[in-house]
């Protein structure tokens, strides 16, 4: 599309905006694929943050493999040296992988899991798949004897919706094998494992056990673990399972809505809210101002790990309960798998110092070689510290610097988004520049920490909204049209424009 044609089609209010920054003789429909060393290049005057990102990217890429193995494109998302990927780790590493250009890897790995759901395994998939495209022997013997955490189907569902938001790849929300996985998970799978809102609080510790059940056999006792927390025997439900159900049904509601099924969307949304109500009404401990995390049959509530998943899956909207979970995170010791995602969580809720402290400590932590660490760092830095979030569903991209140094100059260049790349640069808390090197015209939801009167983009003033995050930080946001192949810069201004 040439510049003249673009201006004719554009709304009048954008003419002055585009004339200085956008357009060209022709606009390619897709961007050519960049070499790996040019994708997700992070630079910052915060040298510790830059050095940590460089470590994370190098480490994450060292775990990625091309399509020469029988399984196809994949990266390690399991215990190091297992040469495999598991459902939980993939779900939690996929955003970081997308940022550094591993879109094909994500798509292939999710495809492997969704296509292996089966009635013989009671609508489970394989918990882990190795480079030879086989279930990992450490987790699977046969369809009656295997290891599986029941959260996984719903975690995958949420992660696949995230991938659609990042890529615009329609197969994630309407592909036959993906839809089969989603449909089976919210019906047969939920039913056979006693996960419906009406049954979950009365379920037993062991459901669908093999014949001649042997409590000393992990493939019997762990065939359908009702939590990601694996060190407490006899658990009937973990709060993290309930949280994953809330997120899974919420994701299913969005997916069915995208496919035009309003009735299914409404039903799934209502069910998601029922899981949230169970957590908020039955698992919150008023006396101790904290959530219970484990339930043995009875019900008999216990304490253990699991509370961070309430925030990972975005269950509660109560500021005091959010503070309670964040305080619990800060006050306890955690394994590195959990810690990998604390930066993203703290940044999301406005606890920027805590997010930063976790972020820059990840490279030197014990077991930092665990693959989830480097991928979690990348997500925490780009989505957390840089506040970068694309959304193909509403054709938008959001940005907000949360970097602590008010004079820092930081840039993430060539993040893999949609069919191209995007670059974001923040200078302090009052200037942001963005480049949209994709074929999509977007709404730029630009935000700045602080109370400002307006946002100025290329000499034009835009009205703003004032909001506050869960930590009470005020931020100012404006919505700006960001056409394809366009670079814009925005300044936050305190004085009233004339």
Decide which of 332, 354, 369 is a domain's last residue.
332
Q: For residue 161, what pLDDT is reported?
A: 98
- 28 and 102 in a single domain? The answer is no
Mean pLDDT score, 244-253? 98
Q: How far apart are CA 133 and CA 65, in angstroms?
A: 13
Intra-chain end-to-end CA distance of the chain, in Å:
36
Q: Assess whether pLDDT exceeds 50 at residue 425.
A: yes
For the stretch 177-202, pLDDT in tens is: 999 999 999 999 999 999 999 999 99
What pLDDT was estimated at residue 16? 37
**CATH code (residue 395):** 2.60.40
Whether 137 and 224 share a structural domain: yes
Asked whether residue 360 is domain-assigned, the answer is no
Structural domain including 408 reads: 3-33+391-493
**The predicted structure's pLDDT at residue 231:** 86
Tell me, yes or no, whether 28 and 99 share the same domain: no
- What pLDDT score was predicted for residue 81? 85
pLDDT at position 214 is 93
pLDDT classification of 31: cutoffs 50, 70, 90: low
311 plus 249 within the same structural domain: yes
Q: For the chain, what is the mean pLDDT?
A: 93
What tokens appear for 380 in the block?
């925490």
Q: Is the predicted pLDDT of residue 461 greater than 70, yes or no?
A: yes
**378 pLDDT exceeds 50?**
yes
CATH of the domain at 255: 1.50.10.10
Nearest C-alpha neighbor of 29 from the set 440, 414, 423, 487: 440
pLDDT at 2: 42
291 and 407 fall within a common domain: no
Q: Is the pLDDT confidence value at 497 over 60?
A: no
Q: Are strands 454-457 and 442-449 parallel, antiparallel or unpaired?
A: unpaired
Residues 302 and 161 in one domain: yes
Asked whether residue 344 is assigned to any structural domain, the reply reads no
CB neighbourhood size of 133 (10 A): 13
Number of structural domains (the chain) is 2
Tell me the C-alpha distance between 229 and 234, whole Å. 12
Tell me, what's the pLDDT at 357? 97
Q: What is the pLDDT of residue 22?
A: 58
Is the pLDDT at 19 greater than 90, yes or no?
no
pLDDT in tens, 308-361: 999 999 999 999 999 999 999 999 999 999 999 999 999 999 999 999 999 999
Whether residues 106 and 217 fall in one domain: yes
Tell me, yes or no, whether 435 and 308 share the same domain: no
Last residue in a domain, options 263, 297, 332: 332
In three-state form (DSSP H/G/I as H, E/B as E, the rest C), the secondary structure along the chain is CCHHHHHHHCCHHHHHHHHCCECCCCCCCCCCCCCHHHCCEEEECCHHHHHHHHHHHHHHHHCEECCCCCCCCEECECCCCCCEEEHHHHHHHHHHHHHCCCHHHHHHHHHHHHCCCEHHHCCECCCEEECCCCECCCCEEECCEECEECCHHHHHHHHHHHHHHHHCCCHHHHCHHHHHHHHHHHHHHHHHCCCCCCCHHHCCCCCCCCCCCCCCCHHHHCEEECCCCCCCCCCCEEHHHHHHHHHHHHHHHHHHHHCCCHHHHHHHHHHHHHHHHHHHHHHEECCCCEECCEEECCCEEECCCCCHHHHHCCCCCCHHHHHHHHHHHHHCCCCHHHHCCHHHHHHHCCCHHHHHHHHHHHHHCCCCCCHHHHHHHHHHHHHHHCCCEEECCCCEEEECCCCCCCCCEEEEEEEEECCEEEEEEEECCCEEEEEEECCCCEEEEEEEECCCCEEEECCEEECCEEEECCCCCEEEEEEEEECCCEEEEEEEECCCCC
Model confidence at 28: pLDDT above 60 = no
In a domain, 489, yes or no: yes
Residue 369 falls inside a structural domain = no
Per the domain annotation, does 384 fall within a domain?
A: no
| Segment 150-179, tens digit of pLDDT | 999 999 999 999 999 999 999 999 999 999
Q: Which pLDDT score is estimated for 21?
A: 45
Neighbouring-strand partners of residue 398? 389, 445
Specify the residue for token string 């099924």: 261
Burial of 489 (0-12, 13-18, 19+ CB in 10 A): middle
Who has greater pLDDT, 32 or 286?
286
Residue ending a domain, among 315, 332, 349, is: 332
186/306 same-domain check? yes
pLDDT, tens digit (0-9, with 9 covering 90-100), for 51-79 = 999 999 999 999 999 989 999 999 999 99
Is position 185 within any domain? yes
Cis peptide preceding 189, ω within 30 of 0:
no
By the 8 A CB rule, do 131 and 74 touch? yes
Who wins on pLDDT, 342 or 7?
Answer: 342
pLDDT band at 80 (very low <50, low <70, confident <90, very high): confident
8 and 115: one domain?
A: no
Q: What are phi and psi of 113, to 5 degrees?
A: -75, -45
Is residue 381 one of the residues assigned to a domain?
no
Clarify whether residues 219 and 280 are in a common domain: yes
Instruction: Please indicate, yes or no, if residue 483 is contained in any of the structural domains.
Output: yes
Percent of the chain whose predicted confidence (pLDDT) is above 90: 89
Token pair recorded at residue 438: 């994709």
Question: 323 with 411, same domain?
Answer: no
């Amino acid at each position: 599309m040439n510049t003249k044609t673009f201006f004719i089609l554009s709304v009048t209010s954008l003419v002055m905006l585009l004339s200085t920054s956008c357009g060209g003789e022709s606009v390619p429909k897709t961007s050519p694929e960049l070499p790996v060393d040019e994708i997700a290049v992070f630079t910052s005057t915060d040298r510790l943050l830059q050095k940590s990102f460089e470590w994370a990217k190098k480490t994450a890429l060292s775990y990625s493999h091309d399509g020469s193995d029988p399984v196809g494109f994949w990266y390690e998302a399991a215990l190091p040296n297992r040469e495999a990927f598991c459902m939980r780790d993939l779900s939690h590493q996929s955003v970081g992988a997308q940022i550094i250009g591993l879109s094909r890897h994500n798509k292939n790995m999710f495809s492997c899991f969704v296509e292996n759901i089966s009635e013989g395994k009671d609508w489970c998939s394989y918990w882990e798949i190795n480079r030879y495209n086989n279930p990992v022997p450490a987790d699977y013997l046969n369809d009656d004897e295997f290891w599986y955490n029941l959260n996984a189907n719903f975690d995958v569902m949420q992660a696949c919706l995230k991938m659609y938001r990042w890529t615009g790849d329609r197969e994630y929300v309407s592909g036959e094998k993906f839809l089969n996985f989603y449909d089976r998970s919210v019906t047969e799978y939920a039913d056979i494992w006693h996960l419906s809102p009406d049954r979950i609080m009365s379920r037993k510790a062991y459901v669908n056990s093999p014949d001649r059940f042997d409590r000393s056999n992990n493939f019997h006792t762990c065939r359908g673990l009702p939590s990601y927390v694996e060190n407490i025997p006899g658990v009937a439900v973990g709060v993290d399972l309930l949280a994953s159900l809330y997120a899974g049904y919420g994701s299913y509601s969005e997916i069915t809505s995208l496919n035009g099924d309003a009735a299914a969307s409404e039903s799934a949304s209502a069910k998601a809210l029922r899981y949230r109500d169970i957590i908020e009404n039955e698992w919150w401990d008023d006396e101790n101002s904290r959530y219970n995390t484990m339930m043995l049959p009875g019900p008999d509530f216990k304490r253990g790990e699991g509370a961070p998943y309430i925030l990972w899956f975005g269950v509660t909207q109560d500021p005091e309960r959010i503070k309670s979970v964040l305080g619990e995170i800060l006050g306890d010791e955690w394994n590195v798998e959990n810690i990998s995602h604390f930066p993203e969580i703290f940044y999301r809720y406005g606890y920027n110092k805590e997010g930063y402290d976790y972020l820059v400590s990840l490279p030197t932590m014990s077991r930092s070689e665990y693959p989830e660490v480097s991928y979690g760092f990348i997500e925490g830095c780009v989505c957390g510290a840089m506040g970068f979030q694309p959304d193909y569903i509403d054709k938008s991209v959001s940005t907000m610097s949360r970097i602590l140094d008010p004079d820092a100059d930081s840039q993430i260049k060539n993040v893999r988004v949609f069919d191209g790349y995007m670059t974001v640069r923040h200078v302090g808390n009052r200037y942001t520049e963005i480049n949209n090197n994709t074929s999509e015209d977007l709404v730029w939801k630009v935000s700045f920490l602080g109370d400002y009167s307006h946002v100025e983009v290329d000499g034009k003033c835009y009205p703003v909204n004032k909001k506050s995050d869960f930590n009470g930080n005020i931020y100012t946001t404006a919505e700006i049209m960001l056409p394809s192949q366009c670079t814009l810069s925005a300044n936050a201004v305190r004085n009233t424009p004339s």
